[in-house]
Amino acid sequence: MKTLFLNIAIVCLVSFIAAQEQRKEPAGMNPFFVKYNTPFETPPFNLIKNKHFMPAFRKGMEKQKKEVDAIVANAEKPSFKNTVEALERSGLSLDMVGNVFYGLQGANTNDDIQKIANDVAPLLSKHRDDIYLNEKLFQRVKAVHEQREKLGLNPEQMKLLDDMFKNFVRGGANLSLEKKERFRKINEELSLLGLKFDENVLKETNNFKLVIEKKEDLEGLPQSVIDGASDAAKKAGSDGRWVFTVQKPSMIPFLQYAENRSLREKLLKAYIMRGDNNNEFDNKAVVSKMAMLRVERANLLGYKTHAEYVEEKNMSKTPAAVYELLNKLWEPALKNAMKERDALQELVKKEGGAFKLEPWDWWYYAEKERKAKYDLDENELRPYFLLDNVIKGAFDVATRLYGLRFIQRNDISKYIDETTIFEVKRSDGSHLGILYTDYFPRPGKQAGAWCGGFRGQEWREGTIVTPLVYNVGNFSRPTGGKPALLSPEEVGTLFHEFGHALNALLQNQTYRSLGVPGDFVELPSQIMENWAFDPEVLHLYARHYKTGETIPQTLIDKISKSDKFNQGFATVEYLAACFLDMDWHSLTTPTLVDVDMFEKQSLDKIRLMPEIVVRYRSTYFKHIWSAGGGYDAGYYYYIWAAVLDADAFEAFKEKGLFDHATAKAFMEHVLVKGATDDAMKQYEKFRGKKPSIEPLLKKRGLL
Kindly give, in sequence order, each residue whose CB lies less than 8 Å from that of residue 12, ignoring residues fewer than 6 positions away. Answer: none
Alpha-carbon span 253 to 240, nearest angstrom:
20
Alpha-carbon span 474 to 442, nearest angstrom:
8
Contact indicator for 229, 471 with CB cutoff of 8 Å: no
- Burial call 104-114: b when 16+ CB within 10 Å, e when fewer: bbbbbbeeebb
**What one-letter code names the amino acid at 384?**
Y
Alpha-carbon span 244 to 248, nearest angstrom:
10
Alpha-carbon span 440 to 53, nearest angstrom:
25
Q: The dihedral of CA 172, 175, 176, 179: what is its sign?
A: negative
Kindly give, in sequence order, each residue whose CB lies less than 8 Å from that of residue 597, ignoring residues fewer than 6 positions away. Answer: none
Please report which residue ranges of 419-565 form alpha helices under DSSP H.
488-506, 523-532, 535-541, 553-561
Alpha-carbon span 330 to 611, nearest angstrom:
16
Contact indicator for 148, 83 with CB cutoff of 8 Å: no
Alpha-carbon span 657 to 534, nearest angstrom:
9
Measured in degrees and rounded to the nearest 5, phi and psi for residue 538 equal -55, -40
- In the three-class reduction of DSSP (H, G, I as helix; E, B as strand; rest coil), residue 470 is classed as strand
Rounded to 10 degrees, what is the CA torsion of 421, 538, 482, 253? 100
> What value does the CA radius of gyration of the chain take, rounded to a whole number of Å?
27
SS (H, E, C) 51-72: HHHHHHHHHHHHHHHHHHHHHH
Please report which residue ranges of 507-606 form alpha helices under DSSP H.
523-532, 535-541, 553-561, 567-584, 595-605
Alpha-carbon span 677 to 667, nearest angstrom:
14
- In the three-class reduction of DSSP (H, G, I as helix; E, B as strand; rest coil), residue 382 is classed as helix
Structural element, H or E, at residue 469 = strand 468-472
Measured in degrees and rounded to the nearest 5, phi and psi for residue 81 equal -75, -50
Count CA atoms closer than 13 A to 288's CA, side-chain side: 15
A 10 A CB-CB count for 601 gives: 12
Contact indicator for 156, 677 with CB cutoff of 8 Å: yes
485 DSSP β-pair partners: 386
Contacts 24+ apart (CB under 8 A), 237-240: 238/211
DSSP class of residue 668 equals I
Q: Which residues are catalytic?
A: 497
- In the three-class reduction of DSSP (H, G, I as helix; E, B as strand; rest coil), residue 166 is classed as helix
Give me the count of residues in the chain. 703
Nearest Cα to Cα of residue 294 among 201, 173, 202, 170:
170
Alpha-carbon span 49 to 121, nearest angstrom:
19
Alpha-carbon span 316 to 517, nearest angstrom:
9
